[in-house]
Amino acid sequence: MTTPRILIIDARFYDDIADALVAGAMDVLEGQGADVTRVSVPGVLEIPAALAMALAAMEAGTADYDGFVLLGCVIRGETSHYDIVANESARAVMELTIDAALPLGNGILTVENGEQAWVRADPAKKNKGGAAAQAALDMIAIRDRFGI
């Protein structure tokens, strides 16, 4: 297998949680010898737009990625904004993923509180960043198996 080229898109709204997710993802990707590019966006709602931009760059021939890792965190608050951010970002990501048959690992956490976020983001605990990176690598292998 050739060296996988991976784009990580991470949302920085919760910088410390994002850093933990990225650390977990990088451990997995570096362990597999991946060539990693990273772009950061302000929040989870901006992730689908950045993914769409990356796909447009690939279409234009100015970028080339084999897979994508999306990382960020949405923590429930006192208003319905949580539902909008969690649902709309997931919907947009899923549409792009299916429409373009993207090898993608989705590590966007949707949690009730900061404690849940840390348990999931911490590479020494649930390591959801690492799991998202592994999912992207697994999906690249499946795409390759289908010859697309």
* Predicted model pTM: 0.97
Q: What percent of the chain has pLDDT over 90?
A: 97
- Which one of 39, 81, 84, 95 is the catalytic residue? 81
Local structure of residue 37 (DSSP, 8 states):
E
For the cut 60, the answer to whether the pLDDT of residue 12 exceeds it is: yes
Reported as a pLDDT band with limits 50, 70 and 90, residue 1 is low
Rounded to whole angstroms, the Cα distance separating 71 from 104 reads: 11
Domain that holds residue 23: 5-146
**78 annotated ligand binder:** yes
- Tally of structural domains, the chain: 1
Write b or e for each residue in 37-55: b if 16 or more Cβ atoms lie within 10 A of its Cβ, otherwise e: eeebbeebbbbbebbeebb
CA quadruple 23, 27, 39, 73: dihedral sign: negative
Question: 10 Å Cβ neighbour count for 124?
Answer: 7
Query: Per the annotation, does 73 bind a ligand?
Result: yes
Q: What does the pLDDT read at residue 114?
A: 97
Helices assigned H by DSSP within the chain: 15-31, 47-60, 81-100, 114-121, 128-146
Q: For the chain, what is the mean pLDDT?
A: 97
Find the CATH number of the domain harbouring 64.
Answer: 3.40.50.960
Query: pLDDT category, 106, cuts 50, 70, 90?
Result: very high
Is residue 81 part of the annotated active site? The answer reads yes
Query: Does 79 show up as a binding residue in the annotation?
Result: yes
The pLDDT value given to residue 2? 87
